[in-house]
Amino acid sequence: MKLELELIGQQARQAARYLGLLSTEAKNEALLVIADALQDAHEPILAANAADLAAARAAGTSAALLDRMLLTPARLTAIAEDTRRLAALPDPVGARYEKQNLPNGLTLAKQRVPIGVIGVIYEARPNVTVDIAAICLKTGNATIMRGGSDIARSVAALSAVISGALERVGVPTAAVQSLTDPDRDLVRALLRLDRYVDMIIPRGGAGLHRFCLENATVPVITGGIGVVHLFVEASADLERAVPLIHNAKVQRPSVCNALDTLLVQRAIAPALLPQVAASLCADGVELRCDPASLAILTSHPDASSWSLVAAKPGDFGTEFIDLILSIKVVDDIDAALHHIHAYSSGHTEAILTEDAAMAQRFTNEVDAGAVFVNASTRFNDGGQFGLGAEVAVSTQKLHWRGPMGLEALTTFKWVGSGDYLRRA
């Protein structure tokens, strides 16, 4: 296994050298061929995915996780369209910026270059296979991917399509490689393949991130774990707040920017919370309430039709990835900020307010990759940010923060020039 992975690393490094010199036109052609191939091969891809889902259901996998695993004709078409849109985006590689003429006579600039070989370890979402392959190709990076065992058939089918497309356009198939062996020791070995791999991106739960951080000798970009809060301040427009909260929680509860904890200022809690409960519970959301919010909701005439549970300590600071929302009543913005500081994962935080001073204070004091004022947390996404695509959402502060689009998969080199210039 170690020798096989060593060979994979060597091949990826060689492919990265090739990709780094590939023209924008050639990279875009490869992306368009991949997109067409995905749609042409939809039947075997969907059949492989159906087998993964059947096995997952038999193992008792939750409905939310099954949704993350699911590929449909519509989703496969969307993946192909995303790949085509990526081809249409500007290529960051080779761009020079921050050019300056220095007093010593040197003309200096930064030039964007690929990072090299990107290792990606992910769980549950087979679409990530295409997302990673496409964004790495566009930025001239080779990639080594390892999908979760629960989506192994789907990953194998998608990887075969990508390899076939690369071969047709003359790009080394080693540019995109997937590890299909389920042995967890293979993940550990990939994390230590620092001779060939330049960066590791884990996409999964907290356990995967912790495993990577504890075992890697390759730099790791952590992110994607979203313990997401929304604070409704006393001046908020309650009528417009309810559908926004519904959107943040219900639109797609299995993703990292979905709402996990609702914080409501005490002065408006009796008016707002019953509206929130009626809206969310109608779509199957379970509300895990602190004592103050539980008292308000259980005293309402419609309480018997709502799914209300007394919150336990562990319900705060938890990424549910499901139709579950914890609720807490807070006295003021100080208490809200204190709660967020204690439980935030640094992914996405939001405030609803009509008070500009409160909005400014919230954005200044909350430490997160994305902070929203009067907007759904679901907007923390590379596509929604106009990046065209994302490889992950970083919650760390070194190199990149927030959605990682094309520029995030590049670094730079200094390029200096002179007229046979000598240092004095």
Q: How far apart are CA 401 and CA 396, in angstroms?
A: 6
Q: What is the rounded end-to-end Cα distance, in angstroms, of the chain?
A: 55
Task: For residue 39, give the H/E element and its range.
Answer: helix 24-40
Question: What pLDDT is attached to residue 259?
Answer: 98
Region 269-286 average pLDDT: 98
What is the Cα 360 distance to its own chain's centre?
A: 26
pLDDT at 139 > cutoff 70: yes
Range of weakest confidence among 10-14, 121-125, 180-184: 180-184
pLDDT at 237 > cutoff 80: yes
Q: Between the CA of residue 100 and those of 104, 377, 416, 421, what are the distances in Å?
A: 11, 39, 10, 16
Confidence band for 132, pLDDT divided at 50, 70 and 90: very high
Range of weakest confidence among 153-162, 193-202, 266-275, 394-403: 394-403
What pLDDT digit, counting tens, does each position of 280-338 carry?
999 999 999 999 999 999 999 999 999 999 999 999 999 998 999 999 999 999 999 99
pLDDT at 3 > cutoff 80: no
pLDDT > 90 fraction of the chain, expressed in percent and rounded? 85
Cβ atoms of 271 and 238 within 8 Å: the answer is yes
pLDDT at 151 > cutoff 80: yes
Q: Between the CA of residue 197 and those of 117, 156, 308, 346, what are the distances in Å?
A: 5, 22, 48, 26
pLDDT at 181 > cutoff 90: no
pLDDT at 180 > cutoff 90: no
Q: How far apart are CA 297 and CA 273, in angstroms?
A: 7
pLDDT at 349 > cutoff 70: yes
Q: Between the CA of residue 74 and those of 35, 252, 324, 384, what are the distances in Å?
A: 14, 16, 26, 19
pLDDT at 348 > cutoff 80: yes
DSSP characters for 59-70?
TT--HHHHHHH-
- Mean confidence (pLDDT) of the chain: 95
pLDDT at 30 > cutoff 70: yes
Question: What pLDDT is attached to residue 2?
Answer: 65
Q: How far apart are CA 204 and CA 267, in angstroms?
A: 38
β-strands 324-330, 176-178: how paired? unpaired
Range of weakest confidence among 31-45, 176-190, 233-247, 275-289: 176-190
Cβ neighbours of residue 282 closer than 8 Å, sequence gap 6 or more: none
In this prediction the pTM is: 0.86
